[in-house]
Amino acid sequence: PRFAALIPAAGSGSRLGFGIPKALVDLQGKTLLERAIENLAPLVDEVVVALPEGQSIESPVKQIVGGNTRQDSVFRLLQATEADFVLIHDAARPFLGAKVLERIKGRVIQSGAVTAALPATDTLVHSSGGFWGYLVDRSKTWAVQTPQAFRRTLILDAHLKALQEGFEATDDAGLANKYGSNVELVLGDSRLFKVTTPADFELATAFAQLWDQ
Ligand code: C5P
């Protein structure tokens, strides 16, 4: 089967506050997007990236214009490929190792819908007005990451239904599940953290030196 890596990279990066799109921010000599492409390209047949309007990168990968939301950017990416399976991965997660990718690829053919996720390690609480509301059962809670992989027709179908109903989710596994798919949780990695805030960027800068060795 053919695999495409789809990389939503059209976010503004306003929470990071560097004044340029987050995916194009330099992290120790390579942009977040370059790092994501470099990790994914060896394991797929095709890479497609969604960029902010008016942006392009120097790379042989296919580039399209993203949308106003992550969901819209992924919907556009899905229309730019005919691969049997798609691996969707945020440009904002630059430390994607081959092991996680192999696990994800290894499960999606059978499952149709899988995501990297980590069992929660912190105590989890539902908050109410800035105060402790109630405890969430940590033993049943996972933090969801990317990559997420799907049979292309399955996730395209979920996106079409979501568009019709005006349903919005923060990721594609959430969409797939909303429209009836069983989503398998595959062990992710704490190094797959998402670079969102300046503090995340500080961590990423320090860790990049180790990663690049
Ligand atoms: O905003 P957040 O960090 O959750 O974004 C996750 C990923 O989705 C990032 O790689 C970002 O570039 C991408 N994104 C996008 N189009 C948008 C918003 C976010 O491709 N309109």
**Is 172:112 a contact under the CB 8 Å cutoff?**
no
Q: What is the pTM of this model?
A: 0.97
In this predicted complex, what is the ipTM? 0.97
12: left (phi over 0), alpha (psi -120 to 50) or beta: alpha
Q: Is 23 in the pocket of ligand 1 (CB under 6 A)?
A: yes
For 3-12, write each residue's pLDDT tens digit. 999 999 999 8
**What's the confidence (pLDDT) of residue 53?**
95
Span 55-64, average pLDDT:
96
Residue numbers of the domain that contains 23: 3-211
196 lines ligand 1 (CB under 6 A): yes
User: From CA 110, how far away is CA 54, in angstroms rounded?
Assistant: 39
Instruction: Compute, in angstroms, the gap from residue 31 CA to the centroid of ligand 1.
Output: 15
The rounded distance, in Å, linking the Cα atoms of 155 and 159 is: 6
Task: Name residue 91's amino acid.
Answer: A
Summarised one tens digit per residue, pLDDT across range 98-117 is: 999 999 999 999 999 999 99
Atom of ligand 1 nearest to the CA of 23: 12
Q: How far does the centroid of ligand 1 lie from the alpha carbon of residue 187, in Å?
A: 22
Q: Is the model's pLDDT at 77 over the cut of 90?
A: yes
Ligand 1, from 73, 159, 194, 195: best to mutate by most atoms within 8 Å of Cβ?
Answer: 73
What are the residues whose beta carbons fall under 8 Å from the beta carbon of 27, sequence distance 6 or more? 35, 94, 195, 201, 204, 205, 208
Kindly report the average pLDDT of the chain as a whole number: 97
Pocket flag, ligand 1, residue 73 (CB < 6 Å): yes
Residue type, 137: D
pLDDT of residue 152: 98
Amino acid (1-letter code) at residue 46: E
Three-state secondary-structure class, residue 109 = helix
What radius of gyration, in Å, describes the C-alpha atoms of the chain? 17
CA distance 80 to 25: 25
Q: How many domains does the structure of the chain reveal?
A: 1
pLDDT in tens, 168-185: 999 999 999 999 999 999
Identify whether the C-beta of residue 46 lies closer than 8 Å to the C-beta of residue 4.
yes
3-class DSSP state of 1: coil
- Distance from the alpha carbon of residue 10 to the mean position of ligand 1, in angstroms: 6
Q: Are 100 and 192 in contact (CB under 8 A)?
A: yes
> What is the Å distance from ligand 1's center to 134 Cα?
30
13 has a pLDDT exceeding 90: no
The answer to whether the CB of 157 falls within 8 A of the CB of 165 is: no
Give the pLDDT confidence score for residue 168 in this predicted structure: 96
Where does 25-124 have alpha helices with state H? 32-40, 70-78, 98-111
HSE-up (13 A, CA, CB side) for residue 20:
9
Distance, in Å, from the CA atom of 58 to the CA atom of 14, rounded to the nearest integer, reads 24
Ligand 1 lined by 92 (C-beta under 6 Å)? yes
User: Percent of the chain at pLDDT above 70?
Assistant: 100
Of the pLDDT bands very low, low, confident and very high (cuts 50, 70, 90), residue 149 is very high
At residue 75, does pLDDT exceed 90? yes
Q: What is the CATH number of the domain that holds 137?
A: 3.90.550.10
How far does the centroid of ligand 1 lie from the alpha carbon of residue 121, in Å? 25
What per-residue confidence (pLDDT) applies to 4?
98
- Burial label for 188, CB within 10 Å (0-12, 13-18, 19+), is buried
Q: Please state whether the peptide bond connecting residue 60 to the residue before it is cis, i.e. omega within 30 degrees of 0.
A: no
Per-residue pLDDT tens digits for 78-91: 999 999 999 999 99
